[in-house]
Amino acid sequence: MEIKNEKQEYTITVYTENQVGLLNRIAIIFSRRKINVESLNTSPSEVQGIHRFTIVVMESRDVVLKVVRQIEKQVEVLKAYFNTNDEIVWQELALYKVLSDEITEKVKVERLLREFGARAVAIRKDFIVFETTGHREETNKLMEALAPFGLVEFVRSARVAIIKESAGFHEKLKDFEKREPGEEVIENEYLGKREAVFTM
Amino acid sequence: MEQKQLTGSQAVLEACIAEGVDTIFGYPGGAIMPIYDALYDYKEKLNHVLVRHEQGGIHAGQGYARTSGLVGVVFATSGPGATNLVTGLADAMIDSTPLVCITGQVFAHLLGTDAFQETDVINITMPVTKWNYQITDAEEIPAVLAKAFYLARSGRPGPVLIDITKNAQLQNFNYPGYTPCNHIRSYRPKPVIRKEYIDEAVALINNAKKPLVIFGQGVLLGKAENEFKKFIEKSGMPAAWTILGLSALPTDHPQNVGMLGMHGNYGPNVLTNDCDVLIAVGMRFDDRVTGRLDKYAKQAKIIHLDIDPSEIDKNVKADVGVWGDCKETLPLLTLGIEQKDRSEWLAVFADYTKQEYEQCIEPEMFPSKEEMTMAEVIRNVNEITKGNAVMVTDVGQHQMVTCRYAKFNQSRSNVTSGGLGTMGFALPAAIGAKFGAQDREVIAVIGDGGFQMTLQELGTIMQTGVAVKIIILNNQFLGMVRQWQELFNDKRYSFVDIESPNYVMLAKSYGIEGAKVEHRKDLVDAVKTMLAHKGSYLLEVMVGKENNVFPMVPQGCSVSEIRLK
């Protein structure tokens, strides 16, 4: 299997216990190597009580592999995966605040919002807040398009991602709860034979 | 049934007893006073060693853990007490030493308010602990401490810090008893051993013409000395050690070809770049061992045995990564490998040893010049101890010389700060080492620089009467830095000229016997007197001011570019 090692976007998915301070433990692993975290999201996962971190970095595969192993080594981390963009489905959410006058006066703005599939989430006399979801390029485009019309505020959420090949964590957790994990607890099979083994 | 009421403090001490702790190194203070108050009633069961500085306490805990193979336990108070532990935690983290450190913390309701002696010790110590946790409710104490001891000693060992707020120490609660921890669902101490990698490794070793085994502390931590010996003996392979692997294999073992790395032996360094299969056991390819990485063992197939999956491929890409505890993986390899005679290959090492002996070792061990050398001091110690003592070293030239020349027959006999290179480590670590191995002779070899960093611990020796032998090798310089300045900075000796107090008088003021040797004719007797002395003893030896440690792999060079002079 040919492995590309140039810097690219990797999405790291980490399943963890819910523990104070764990975010810091994970963040330290990146900052220690002077890696900038492009996006970070924590949320519940498909399994009750298990948290899921989604972290995006721009790095080479070699470095990401080492970082993921060091993340997985943390006591409260159950499992960490890393994937390239073609292995995941992901979305980001963006909010745009625009002055109501602008919208009502300029037909072009209305057309723009419709074109980008934006939804109004708050409508007030003075301003309106729109929302879109999509990839960064998509949410960026609307921001750029709105800029000339007095975009008052813009904010974008972290990436959330689903791994296409993943079967979820329910079954794996059962293996983790066993005292003697079976050979079945093989992970990241999509990453080639080598990585299959580093999990316990 | 009525449950027993205990305070949080008592529960901490009950946990220590249940975990088989016999010695605690610590220093009291405001926020840990309830635990010390409880300790007053546990004096019969728990021996507490009052150190002179928390850094001394944690290094003593490390020394204890390294000689005993048990978890070292350290108590300190909040704020400065806790921050003084940081160097020791970093040292224990990088050298995989099992420790449980318990720090007091301000009352929970004061957290985050900049209360007196409050510091955010959890966040300060996060990168230098295997795990840390803050307890604010006494109910958590039994389970958290059970987890702490389990994490410290299992898998790849490391330091754990538990911060306990004062209210939790004082709190009365229904004590459910102590249940040791042996499973945490998110933590896998040992990876599952995969047979296909064992088979691949066996095949590589069996087909190898010139295999070289390099081993580290993993062999000691895994208590796999016998398994390791059987493994190398069956296949007849030469084995070289990192300084933390030292003493896992007796010095005189015919297949022990010496030390790796920057000041290691000539043969194992040069031949790392000549072997066809390199088998790394429980070591992590530190840059001091590998030298320049892109010229390190490029011709060889690399087999890497480690319990920590994140070590495989971290610095050196392994052809076969054998994940697992070496106590289990080594016998599996031994089973598969063929009995081989590799005397021809061993003879190549012997050849290099001969060259090194003539050019480096002999002139240092048996110097003809007037000045004394560090190596001849170690030779004199060897002649009396016969390799049965525990040698504790600080950091610098004397450390390299001691590791190179000291003889070892027994495992767990070399205590040094390897990864972090902490000057000031040796004196407190030697105190702990002696508590961890009370029936053994413990000799601390320390430079004049490092000794002055933690010499307050002479007070601990005085008060406990612990029989530690101290050799100060005084070259009146911060020798290792001076050596580099001589070799690489045109002898611009920038702030390496260090003066010393009268060490013998200093020792005397602590009630410790001592002597100073300035001439070779007095050396043998002085070493004899020191080792014959019942209690602690300080021997200062004036050695050549500008002696260098050779061989040396200069920084940025490949291991095969090692210089003999």
Residues B384 and B507 in one domain: yes
Minimum-distance CB partner of B184 among A24, A75, A199: A75
CA distance A119 to chain B (A): 41
Q: What's B83's DSSP letter?
A: H
- Please, which pLDDT band fits residue A188 given cuts at 50, 70 and 90? very low
Q: B44 in a domain, yes or no?
A: yes
Q: Give the number of other Cβ atoms within 10 Å of residue B359's Cβ.
A: 15
Boundaries of domain holding A18: 8-88+161-198
Query: What is the rounded distance in angstroms from the CA atom of residue B233 to the CA atom of residue B254?
Result: 9
Query: What count of CB pairs under 8 Å joins A to B?
Result: 67
User: What stretch of H or E contains B105?
Assistant: strand B99-105
Tell me the per-residue pLDDT of A83-93, one tens digit each, with 9 for 90 and over. 999 999 999 99
With respect to residue A194, please indicate whether it lies within any of the assigned structural domains.
yes
Q: Distance (Å, rounded) from C-alpha A95 to C-alpha A97?
A: 7
| B547 belongs to a structural domain | no
Nearest Cβ partner for B192 among A69, A78, A183: A183
Residue B126: which of A28, A181, A183 has the nearest Cβ?
Answer: A28
Within this chain, do residues B336 and B261 fall inside the same structural domain, yes or no?
yes
**Looking at the predicted structure, is the pLDDT value of residue A184 above 70?**
no
Cα–Cα distances in angstroms (integers) from residue B61 to residues B70, B72, B234, B332, B365, in the given order? 10, 5, 37, 34, 33
Active site (annotated) includes residue B365: no
What residues pair up with A193 in beta bridges, in sequence order? none
Q: How confident is the model at residue B1 (pLDDT cuts 50, 70, 90)?
A: low
One domain, residues B436 and B513 = yes
What would the pLDDT profile of B162-196 be if each residue is shown by its tens digit?
A: 999 999 999 999 999 999 999 999 999 988 898 99
In a domain, B427, yes or no: yes
Q: What's the ipTM?
A: 0.90
Percent of chain A whose pLDDT exceeds 70: 87
**CA quadruple B393, B396, B399, B403: dihedral sign:** positive
Give the model confidence (pLDDT) of B226-279 as tens digits. Answer: 999 999 999 999 999 999 999 999 999 999 999 999 999 999 999 999 999 999
Number of compact structural domains in chain A: 2
Task: Check if the beta carbon of residue A177 is closer than 8 Å to that of residue A50.
Answer: no
Strands A119-123 and A37-44: unpaired
Cβ B541 vs Cβ B472: under 8 Å: yes
Judged on CB neighbours under 10 Å (0-12, 13-18, 19+), B353 is middle
Residues 15-54 of A with CB under 8 A from B: 16-17, 20-21, 24-25, 28, 32
Confidence band of B42 (pLDDT split at 50, 70, 90) = very high
Structure tokens at B544: 């050549």
Same domain, yes or no: B203 and B142: no
User: Are both B169 and B205 inside the same structural domain?
Assistant: no
User: What is the predicted pLDDT for the residue at A104?
Assistant: 80
Q: Where in the sequence is the domain holding B302, given as residue range(s)? A: 195-349
- Chain B closest-CA separation from residue A106 CA (Å): 51
pLDDT at B397: 98
The confidence band for A173, taking pLDDT boundaries of 50, 70 and 90, is confident
A128 and A76 part of one domain: no
Rounded Cα distance between B149 and B159, Å, is 9
Q: Is the bond preceding residue B28 a cis peptide, omega within 30 degrees?
A: no
Per-residue pLDDT tens digits for B513-540: 999 999 999 999 999 999 999 999 999 9
- In whole angstroms, what is the distance from residue B78 CA to residue A137 CA? 49
Do residues A33 and A70 both lie within one domain?
yes
**Same domain for B243 and B271:** yes
Residue A149 belongs to domain with CATH number: 3.30.70.1150
Question: Is B338 domain-assigned?
Answer: yes
Answer yes or no: is A81 within a domain: yes
In this prediction, residue A2 carries a pLDDT of 52
Q: Are residues A13 and A112 both part of a single domain?
A: no
pLDDT beyond 50 at B371: yes
Q: Is B396 helix (H, G, I), strand (E, B) or coil?
A: coil
Residue B5 CB coordination number (10 Å):
10
Whether residue A166 sits in one domain with residue A82: yes
The answer to whether residues B137 and B210 belong to one domain is: no
Confidence of residue B469 (pLDDT cuts 50, 70, 90): very high
Is the per-residue pLDDT at A20 higher than 90? no
Considering the domain architecture, whether residues A103 and A31 belong to the same structural domain is answered as: no
Are residues B311 and B426 both part of a single domain?
no
pLDDT at A199 over 80: no
Question: A36, A10 in Cβ contact below 8 A?
Answer: no
Task: Provide the mean pLDDT of chain B.
Answer: 97
Q: Based on the domain organization, do A84 and A53 belong to the same domain?
A: yes
Asked if residues B440 and B419 have their Cβ atoms less than 8 Å apart, the reply is no
- Does residue B564 fall inside a structural domain? no
Percent of chain B having pLDDT more than 70?
A: 100
My answer on whether A43 and A75 are in the same domain is yes
Beta bridge pairs of residue B76: B103
**CATH, residue A58:** 3.30.70.260
Mean pLDDT, range A175-189, rounded to an integer: 53
**Residue A112, in any domain of the structure:** yes
Inter-chain touch A75–B127, beta carbons under 8 Å: no
> Is A183 in CB contact (< 8 Å) with chain B?
yes
> Is position A184 within any domain?
yes
Residue A69 inside a domain? The answer is yes
**DSSP string of A156-187, one letter each residue:** EPPPEEEETT---SHHHHHHHHSSS--TT---
Instruction: Name the domain count of chain B.
Output: 3
CATH number at residue B457: 3.40.50.970
Q: How far apart are CA B489 and CA B491, in angstroms?
A: 6
In a domain? residue B186: no
In a domain, A1, yes or no: no
Please tell me if residue B325 touches chain A, with a CB cutoff of 8 Å: no
Residue B336 lies in a domain: yes
Is residue A31 located within the same domain as residue A80? yes
Boundary (domain end) residue, out of B175, B209, B235: B175
Question: Is residue A149 in a domain?
Answer: yes
Question: Do both A40 and A128 map to the same domain?
Answer: no
Are B398 and B492 members of one domain? Answer: yes
Q: How far is A63 from chain B (nearest CA, A)?
A: 9
* Residue A2 resides in a domain: no
CATH no. for residue B208? 3.40.50.1220
Residues A146 and A51 in one domain: no
Residue B339 touches partner A, C-beta closer than 8 Å: no
Cβ contact B70:B433 at 8 Å: no
Residue A128 and residue A190 share a domain: no
Is the pLDDT at A1 greater than 70, yes or no? no
| Same-domain status, A96 and A82 | no
Residue B362 falls inside a structural domain: no
Q: DSSP assignment, residue B552? A: B
CB B152 within 8 A of CB B91: no
Distance CA B564, CA B549 (A): 9
pTM (predicted TM-score): 0.94
Angle at Cα B533 formed by Cα B531 and Cα B538, nearest 5°? 75
Instruction: Give pLDDT, residue A182.
Output: 44
Interface of B with A in 276-315 (CB under 8 A): 308-310, 312-314
Residue A180 pLDDT grade (very low, low, confident, very high; cuts 50, 70, 90): low
Q: Say what percent of chain B tops pLDDT 90.
A: 98
Going from the C-alpha of B516 to that of each of A35, B189, B504, B540, the distances in angstroms are 53, 48, 7, 5
